[in-house]
């Protein structure tokens, strides 16, 4: 992990983590394109990355394994795409990421892949349509998810439209 010390604010005061980066993304939108390229590039730079299809132990409870991996990471990179909010798994993952940000200082870096930060923050346009479906199906979690989306939408991140060849 020494090679990635530039990702951690102060490694002397932070606890040792198994992963440098936890990747949160909607598989059907970005797994075989952006996420696979990002993952490969990070691994080439000897950065320890948690990506569910590479690191999730077979036979484990998915939610518990994901939450433990988030807790055992220095940073979470959340790749928001148009259908990210169409997954209750992604929304639960995001809520846990934001809880870890507040409770233990997890660094959160959002990437807005073909969506605007304001779409995430305010659940608008295609992103909002996807969120509305989950909100209707999971009324008890809706407010927790909405707060997490609002808070992460206020974090400075990368927007694909501002990156060369990003759309």
- Active-site pick, 93, 102, 143, 159: 93
Which residues have C-beta within 8 Å of that of residue 17, sequence separation ≥ 6? Answer: 1, 72, 73, 74
Angle between helix axes 62-71 and 88-104 (nearest 10 degrees) is: 30
In whole angstroms, what is the distance from residue 64 CA to residue 24 CA? 15
93 annotated active-site: yes
Burial class (CB in 10 A: 0-12, 13-18, 19+), 122: middle
Catalytic sites, residue numbers = 93
């Amino acid at each position: 992990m020494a090679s990635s010390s530039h990702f951690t604010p102060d490694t002397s005061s932070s606890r040792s983590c198994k992963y440098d980066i936890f990747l949160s993304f909607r598989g059907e939108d970005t797994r075989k394109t952006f996420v696979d390229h990002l993952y490969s590039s990070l691994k080439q730079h000897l950065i320890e990355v948690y990506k569910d299809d590479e690191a999730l132990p077979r036979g484990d409870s998915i939610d518990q394994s994901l939450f433990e991996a988030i807790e055992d990471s220095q940073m979470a990179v959340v790749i928001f795409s148009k259908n990210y909010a169409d997954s209750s798994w992604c929304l639960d993952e995001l809520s846990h990421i934001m809880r870890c940000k507040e409770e233990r200082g997890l660094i959160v870096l959002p990437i807005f892949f073909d969506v605007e930060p304001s779409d995430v923050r305010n659940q608008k346009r295609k992103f909002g349509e996807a969120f509305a479906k989950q909100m209707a199906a999971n009324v008890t979690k809706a407010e927790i998810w909405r707060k997490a989306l609002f808070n992460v939408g206020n974090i400075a991140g990368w927007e694909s439209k501002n990156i060369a060849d990003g759309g």
